[in-house]
Chain A
């Protein structure tokens, strides 16, 4: 079964450093997402991306964050100048176009900011 893959699975970074989390969505999907789950808390929507532009973003997704689809297969989340509170599991997801289609999630990238 096709799946969303994410790298790295775990990254430790120093506060203030830039981090790039990478994702390969399912190949025929057109919508891409990033979600975040702080340890012990609910999964929160960050951003959705379609047709090479952001279609919606949450209030969490401030100027510190950016997303990019640099080629036909990868989808990246960049966090500039990381803060301690950015420590979380980051999930990439993708879906086909159409009503009621399922979002498929990757296994997550666990980011620890020290």
Chain B
């Protein structure tokens, strides 16, 4: 079945450091790929998405590129802020009428001043 594997956390970075959270997927066909973010005490928010190979999703300084050849969708940010502290979930959904989402286990990011 479909699955998403993302790097284990927690990840602790100093403010302004570079961030990479690795994500790889296994799926048949051509899934859409997502990063969701969950801030402390809040729900899931869509951070960015890419729906086909070589697409780059970006939002709030975060980027991720859909790499079909390596089945990856790594999340990157050049300079993190304390406010970026959250849990980040990589996810995929299959094309079709409805969009069942398969999530990775989540990576907790803590940014310290």
Contact = CB atoms under 8 A, between A and B. Distances in A.
Given A43-B89, A43-B103, A105-B36, A95 B43 contact: no
A100 B51 contact: yes
Interface in B51-108: 51, 89, 93, 95-106
A99 B98 CA distance: 8
B25 interface: no
Contacts of B93: 103
Interface size class of B (residues with CB under 8 A): 20 to 34
B104 A42 contact: yes
B73 to A, nearest CB: 14
A103 B104 contact: no
A102 B97 contact: no
A21 B60 CA distance: 32
Nearest to A49: B98
A48 B102 CA distance: 13
A60 B70 CA distance: 31
Interface in B21-38: 32, 34, 36
A42 B46 contact: no
A86 interface: no
Contacts of A48: 98, 100
Contact of B44 (A41, A43, A45, A100): A43
Contacts of B43: 91, 105-108
Q: Which 4 A-B pairs have the closest CB atoms?
A: A107-B43, A100-B51, A105-B44, A43-B103
Interface of B: 32, 34, 36, 42-46, 49, 51, 89, 93, 95-106
